[in-house]
Amino acid sequence: MRFSNMSLVCTMIASKGAHVCAFASRSAPQFAARAITARQMATGPMPFEDEKMPFYALGVNLAKQVGGQTGFKSLLNDDELELVLTGFGETLRGTATQEGSAVLEVYGTKLNEIIQDRSSNIIDSVKKEGVEFIENFLACNEEAVKTESGLVYYPMTEGTGAQPTTSNTVEVHYHGTLIDGSVFDSSVDRGQTISFPLGGVIKGWQEGLAMMKEGGKCTLVIPYDLAYGDAGSGDTIPPGATLKFEVELFKVS
C-alpha cells in the first residue's frame, strides 16, 4: 500500500457484551416505511447558527471522506486524533513548521504500518464476534442448521412452491442486520419487494435461497466469507462482518 494512494479500512466494531438467546420470531415483523427529513434526523440543536453551518458541514464532509465516523474513530485514541487534527489545521492554514511532502516522505510508511496493523486486529475481533454469534444462535434455535460452508439456515415458514437455483430470478422481501441489530438494508422497511438473478448475489444468499421454496420464510446467518469478506461493503457493512437476514421468498422465475 503506497501512502500517496492509501485507502483506509473503515470498520465498525459490533457491540460488546455477553450474548443472550435471541430466538427468531415466526411472526412476520411489521416495518413502516417513513420519509425522514434531514432536520428530523438531527438528534439535537445545530452547533452554530444557520449562516455558519455550511462551513461546519464542510468539516463533516471531510471527516466522512477519511473515515471519521467508522474508521479513525476505531483506529486512533483521543491523543492521536488530536495530532491528526493539528496536522490538518496547520497544513490547511499554512502555519506548519515542516513542509508537508517532507513529513509524508519520512512518516508515511510508518503510518501505513500502524493503520494496517490496527485494522487487521479490529477485523479479527469482528470475525471472532461473528463466530460467537453463530454459536449462540444455534444453541438458542434448535431448528437452525449449519451447512458445510458455515451458513446458518433457520426455517420460519415452510414454502410449498418452486425451489430456486442460481439460474433463476427470485422475488423476495428481506431485512438485513449486523449482529448487533443495526439495520443496513431492508426491502421490508422500503415497503417494496425486490427481484434479482440469484446467481448475481453473495454466496450466502445463493446457498440459503436454494434451500427455500416459494411461500417460505427463513432467517439466514451468513459468515463473513460467504458475505462481503475482508473488504466489507460501503459505509454500512464492516470488513469481516457476519450478517443476519430474514428472507421471504415470493416468486421463482
Give the active site residues: 174, 184-185, 202, 228, 245
The residues near 142 (Cβ < 8 Å, ≥ 6 apart) are none
Q: b vs e for 175-197, b when ≥16 Cβ sit within 10 Å of the residue's Cβ?
A: bbebbeeeebbbbbeeeeeeeee
Q: Hey, is 56 helix, strand or coil? A: helix
Grid coordinates representing 201 are 448475489
Q: Hey, is 16 helix, strand or coil? A: coil
Q: Hey, is 27 helix, strand or coil? A: coil
The number of beta carbons lying within 10 Å of the beta carbon of residue 49 is 7
Region label for 144, one of left (φ > 0), alpha (ψ between -120 and 50) or beta (otherwise): beta
Place of cell 451468513: 222
Report strand pairing: 217-222 vs 194-197. unpaired
